[in-house]
Amino acid sequence: LSRDVIDEDTWEEIEDLLITADVGVAPTQELVARLRTRVKVEGVSSASVQDILREELVTLVDPSLDRSLAVDRKDGKPAVVLVVGVNGTGKTTTVGKLARVLVAEDKQVVLGAADTFRAAAAEQLATWGERVGVPAVRGPEGSDPASVAFEAVRTGIEQEADVVLVDTAGRLQNKAGLMDELGKVKRVIEKQATVTEVLLVLDATTGQNGLQQARVFREAVDVTGIVLTKLDGSAKGGIVVAVQRELGVPVKLVGLGEGADDLAPFDPAAFVDALMGVTAS
């Protein structure tokens, strides 16, 4: 009956679409199975199978999740946002952009350059600070990142800032020593103030390894939100579907360019449309 309305080529097209968006094999197969069941039960035409797919994808990314950022002062102290992720995903840039957003909301912001490792990382963050008009607390190159983070938070408390944004060095999640170091950065900050938000920055071009990144970073520092960067490119960022499905950590922000204003709240419907190749008009 209705099963015949949608031929195998159409199913394959749908599967291919999801796979090429980096949704991953298992989530794709699950989705297609659910779609097939719905088509069988509801008896829809191939025109509306796109609509059902869209609906299922939106359900998967779950518009009901709380995607707000915890950036209000807490217990008489600044909110502290720790920004983490593997190398080159866009952490420092995201810190700069986020500072811009917070400044526009009349918040007083302090940046902490806890990447003391990469060449010119602190300079890069300081440039962002100048760009958006907020101070950056730095330490000498090669110094202990936890103590720089501590200093930044101390400065934030002293200046009665609203938010301290702490940038950290890129680290691959399979490097236990570096992951321990990150845990220490967080613990040391928490001697003075609560880390209200831990943002994991994922690059939209990342494939299946993104799930492993999310697992390990969550284990190490209890990630509270994902920032999906470089969505202005051709990659769809489908790996976050698997990340949310397995870990329940919501995508909160998306990066859409290299400029200070290229940060936006995550919009589940728009994300799904882009993933399906529907261009926004």
Ligand X SMILES: Nc1nc2c(ncn2[C@@H]2O[C@H](COP(=O)(O)OP(=O)(O)OP(=O)(O)O)[C@@H](O)[C@H]2O)c(=O)[nH]1
Q: Which of residues 91-110 bind Mg ion (CB under 5 A)?
A: 91-92
Kindly give, in sequence order, each residue whose CB lies less than 8 Å from that of residue 271, ignoring residues fewer than 6 positions away. Answer: 61, 237, 251, 254
* Calpha distance 214→246 (Å, rounded): 10
* Calpha distance 214→232 (Å, rounded): 22
Please say which residue, 1 or 280, places its beta carbon nearer to K ion: 280
Provide the minimum distance between the beta carbon of 10 and K ion in the complex, in angstroms, as a whole number: 24
Which of 159, 191, 208, 265 lies at the binding interface for other proteins (CB under 8 A)? 208
Q: Which residues pair with 203 in a beta bridge?
A: 229
Please say which residue, 28 or 94, places its beta carbon nearer to Mg ion: 94
The DSSP H or E segment spanning 255 is strand 251-255
Which of K ion, Mg ion, other proteins, none does residue 19 bind (CB under 5 to 8 Å by kind)?
other proteins
The reply to whether 171 sits near Mg ion by the rule CB under 5 A is: no
CB atoms within 10 A of CB 68: 12
Which of other proteins, ligand X, Mg ion, none does residue 255 bind (CB under 5 to 8 Å by kind)?
ligand X
Provide the minimum distance between the beta carbon of 228 and ligand X in the complex, in angstroms, as a whole number: 9
The reply to whether 129 sits near ligand X by the rule CB under 6 A is: no
Q: Which of residues 202-261 bind ligand X (CB under 6 A)?
A: 229-230, 232, 255-258
Nearest to 85 by CA among 197, 163, 198, 247: 198
Provide the minimum distance between the beta carbon of 262 and other proteins in the complex, in angstroms, as a whole number: 12
CB atoms within 10 A of CB 266: 21
The reply to whether 278 sits near other proteins by the rule CB under 8 A is: no
What token pair was written down for 174? 């399979």
The reply to whether 145 sits near ligand X by the rule CB under 6 A is: no
- Are 137 and 151 in contact, with CB atoms under 8 Å apart? yes
Size of the site for K ion (CB under 5 A): 1
Q: Which residues pair with 112 in a beta bridge?
A: 137, 166
Longest dimension (CA), the chain: 71
Start-to-end CA distance of the chain, whole Å, equals: 36
The reply to whether 116 sits near Mg ion by the rule CB under 5 A is: no
Where does this chain bind other proteins (CB under 8 A)? 16, 19-22, 24-25, 86-90, 92, 96, 117-120, 123-124, 127-128, 131, 172-175, 203-210, 212, 230, 232-236, 238-239, 258
Where does this chain bind Mg ion (CB under 5 A)? 91-92
